[in-house]
Amino acid sequence: MTQTAMSATQDADQIRAVVHEETAAFFAKDFERWAACFLHAPRTHDVYVTKGRGVVISRGWADMAASMRQLMQDNPRVFEGSYEKYDFEISVSGDMAWTTFNTRAGPERSRRYRSAEVFETRIIERIEGRWLIVYSSVAVLREPRDGPPLVQVDGDGQVIWASDKTLARLESFDGLTVSAGRLRAQSPKWDRELQATIARAAGMRHVWDSGFSAGGNNQFHYPYILGDRDGISHCTVFVLDGMINVSFGDDALIGGRIETAAEIFGLSQAQKRLAHQVSTGMRLTEAAEALGISVNTARTHLGRIYTKTGVNSQVALVRMLMSMAALPYQA
């Protein structure tokens, strides 16, 4: 190995070591150890992107240090799970280097698609012989936190990620199943259209796609009926953060859609309550029982809903209701 090649290898090893040390110190909640990985200067910046908090930028070391001290004070518990960093790309030019990589973190026994996954970038400078971070960006792609049941899939329907909560709900949800790692509708009849919908969504994953934004909607959002034998089972296929997502059994989302529909079509409180029960998958008899009304009264309410909304079946009603207020989805 030439001297130049040896030097490049040593640089790459040292850069990876700094990145790992920064993460290990963060998980250990050791501020001084974490701070030793950075250049303490006004030009040192940090960018953090998550679904819950959006984009958070720390400008300058003083801002970064204050934020991290506060975070570690507020959350002193040491992370007891495991993490791995992979797909490193490292470029070095003199005393300047930049690297991108992925980080996966989760409980010790977490499966691949149950862990938090992050895409990270670092710009690193060699200062008096030491590599120090001057720019850090962290984009959280997915994380196993509480929220509505949500499955992320690729364009072929293969499961990329699902939380423990979602996997547990899938076992009892009438309509969806995972077979050989692929998300499917339980009925072959409905599965064909579900796969076609997922394939269409795959064409709308990229930031410059204009098919929907040109029409004033920045998101592919498609409510999909999974079956109508024992109540109306449905899910929603949507694209967010460049990922294909399938949500189901989301009572809060259903409620929001129906509130919008009630305003548009002038549904009464009784009609709104019935529409909600039907949209959660209940048969009409079950909805009537849950609401404490007779089946005949439920049929009367349903008929009036049909008249107001212009549909003539429960399948069409649920699809229409779930199409209301298709705004950017917050998982």
- Could you read off the pLDDT of 154-208 as tens digits, one per residue? 999 999 888 777 888 888 887 889 999 999 998 888 899 899 999 888 877 654 4
Q: What 8-state DSSP symbol labels residue 278?
A: H
pLDDT in tens, 282-322: 888 999 999 999 999 999 999 999 999 998 888 888 888 88
Residue 214: the pLDDT is 45
pLDDT in tens, 61-104: 999 999 999 989 988 888 877 788 999 999 999 999 999 999 98
Q: Please tell me the distance from the alpha carbon of residue 289 to that of residue 283, in angstroms, as a whole number.
A: 10
**Is residue 202 within 8 Å of residue 154, measured between CB atoms?**
yes
Residue 21: the pLDDT is 96
Q: Please tell me the distance from the alpha carbon of residue 263 to that of residue 280, in angstroms, as a whole number.
A: 20
In angstroms and rounded to an integer, the radius of gyration of the C-alpha atoms of the chain is 25
Q: Please tell me the distance from the alpha carbon of residue 181 to that of residue 73, in angstroms, as a whole number.
A: 41
Residue 54: the pLDDT is 78
Residue 313: the pLDDT is 86
**Is residue 105 within 8 Å of residue 98, measured between CB atoms?**
no
What per-residue string of b and e applies to 227-240 under the rule 16 or more CB within 10 Å gives b?
Answer: bbeebbbbbbbbbb
- Pairing state of beta strands 159-162 and 176-179? unpaired
CA 221 → CA 210, 214, 247, 322, distances in Å? 14, 15, 11, 10
Say which residue the tokens 């109306």 belong to.
232
Is the confidence at residue 264, as pLDDT, over 80?
yes
Residue 48: the pLDDT is 92
Q: Please tell me the distance from the alpha carbon of residue 316 to that of residue 215, in angstroms, as a whole number.
A: 24
Q: Please tell me the distance from the alpha carbon of residue 45 to that of residue 175, in angstroms, as a whole number.
A: 47
Residue 171: the pLDDT is 86
Categorize the per-residue pLDDT at 2 as very low, low, confident or very high, splitting at 50, 70 and 90. Answer: low
Is the confidence at residue 224, as pLDDT, over 70?
yes
Q: Please tell me the distance from the alpha carbon of residue 259 to that of residue 273, in angstroms, as a whole number.
A: 10
| Confidence (pTM) | 0.58
* Mean confidence (pLDDT) of the chain: 83
Number of Cβ within 10 Å of residue 14's Cβ equals 17
Say which residue the tokens 């547990």 belong to.
168
